[in-house]
Chain A
Amino acid sequence: MKKKRVGVVLAIVMVLCLSTGLWAAGQVEQAKPEGPIKIIYWRSLTGVAGEAQEEIVKRFNASRSDIIVESQFQGAYAEILQKLQAGLAAGDVPDLVLLDSPHLQIFAKEGVLVNLDAFVAKEPKNFLQDYIPGLLADSYYSKNLYALPALRSTPLLYINEDMLAEAGLPRRAPATWDEFREYCKKLTKVNANGEPIQYGVGFTMGATTAHWYFQGAVYAFDGKISDENFGVHLTEAPAVAAAKLWQDMVFKDKSAVPSTSHDDLFNKKVAMVFGSTGSMGNVMNRATFKVLPAFIPGQVRNGVPVGGAVIAMPSTDKWRQWAAWEFMKFFTGTDSQAYLAEKTGYMPNSTSASKHPDLVKYYAANPHWKVAIDQLQFVQPQASVISLPKGTEILRQMVEKLLIANMDVNTVMAETKADLEKEYNENFK
Chain B
Amino acid sequence: MALFSRKRTVHSMTIREKRDFHAFVGFTAPTFILLGIFILWPIFYSFYLSLFKWNMISPKKTFLGFQNYQDMFGDPVFWLVVKNTLLMAFFTVIVKMAISLYLATQLNKKVKGSSVYRAIIFSPTFTANVAIAMVWAWIFEPTFGLLRVVLKPLGFPMIDWIHSTSHSLPAVIIVLIWSGIGYDMVLFLAALKNISLEIYDAALVDGANTYQIFWRITFPLVSPTTFFLLITGFINVLKAFDIVRIMTEGGPLNSSNVVVHFLYQNAFQWFRTGYASALALILFVFIMFITLIQNRLSKRWVHY
Contacts and interface: CB of A to CB of B under 8 A. Distances in A.
A110 B265 CA distance: 20
Interface stretch (A18-26, A149-157, A398-406): A398-406
Given A81-B269, A85-B268, A107-B57, A207 B249 contact: yes
B57 A85 contact: yes
Nearest to B138: A263
Nearest to A392: B269
A389 B55 contact: yes
B270 A389 contact: yes
Interface string B235-276: 000000000000001011100000000000100111110000
A404 B163 contact: yes
B143 A393 contact: no
B163 A205 contact: yes
B164 interface: yes
B17 interface: no
A427 B249 contact: no
B74 to A, nearest CB: 14
B201 interface: no
Interface string B30-63: 0000000000000000000000000111110000
B268 A82 contact: yes
A269 interface: yes
A192 B251 CA distance: 32
A196 interface: yes
Interface residues of B, number: 26
B160 interface: yes
A405 B253 contact: yes
A393 B268 CA distance: 13
Interface residues of A, number: 33
Contacts of A196: 143
B272 A389 contact: yes
Interface string A232-270: 000000000000000000000000011010010001010
Contacts of B163: 205, 257-258, 260, 404
A110 B252 contact: no
A153 B160 CA distance: 30
A110 B61 CA distance: 12
Contacts of B253: 397, 400-401, 404-405
Contact of A257 (B160, B165, B249): B160
Contacts of B143: 196-198, 267, 269
22 contacts: A82-B268, A88-B56, A89-B56, A106-B55, A110-B58, A205-B251, A207-B269, A257-B163, A258-B160, A260-B162, A260-B163, A269-B144, A389-B55, A389-B270, A389-B271, A389-B272, A390-B270, A397-B253, A400-B252, A404-B252, A404-B253, A427-B55
Nearest to A84: B57
Nearest to A397: B253
Given A81-B269, A89-B57, A106-B271, 15 more contacts: A82-B269, A88-B56, A106-B55, A205-B163, A257-B160, A258-B163, A260-B162, A260-B163, A267-B143, A389-B271, A400-B252, A404-B163, A404-B165, A404-B252, A405-B253
Contact of A81 (B138, B144, B268): B268
Contacts of B269: 78, 81-82, 207, 393
B271 A112 contact: no
B158 interface: yes
Nearest to B250: A207
Contacts of B251: 205, 396, 400
A323 to B, nearest CB: 24
A34 interface: no
B284 to A, nearest CB: 20
A228 interface: no
A166 interface: no
Contacts of B252: 205, 258, 400, 404-405
A88 B144 CA distance: 44
A9 B52 CA distance: 41
A400 B59 CA distance: 35
A123 interface: no
Main SS of the interface on chain B?
loop
A263 to B, nearest CB: 8
Interface in B125-149: 137-138, 141, 143-144
Which of B56, B57, B59, B160 has the most CB atoms of chain A within a 10 A radius of its CB? B57
Contacts of A390: 270
Contacts of A81: 268-269
Interface in A151-196: 195-196
Contacts of A195: 158
Contacts of B57: 85, 88-89, 106-107, 110, 112
Interface string A73-101: 00000100110011011000000000000
Contacts of B165: 404-405
Contacts of A258: 160, 163, 252
A161 to B, nearest CB: 20
Interface in B75-95: none
A384 B165 CA distance: 29
Nearest to B271: A389
B55 A110 contact: yes
B54 to A, nearest CB: 9
Contacts of A198: 143
A85 B270 contact: no
A35 B271 CA distance: 39
B251 to A, nearest CB: 6
Interface string A367-406: 0000000000000000000000110010011001100110
Contacts of A197: 143
A24 B252 CA distance: 58
Contacts of B249: 207
A415 to B, nearest CB: 12
A396 B252 CA distance: 9
A424 B122 CA distance: 50
Contacts of B162: 260
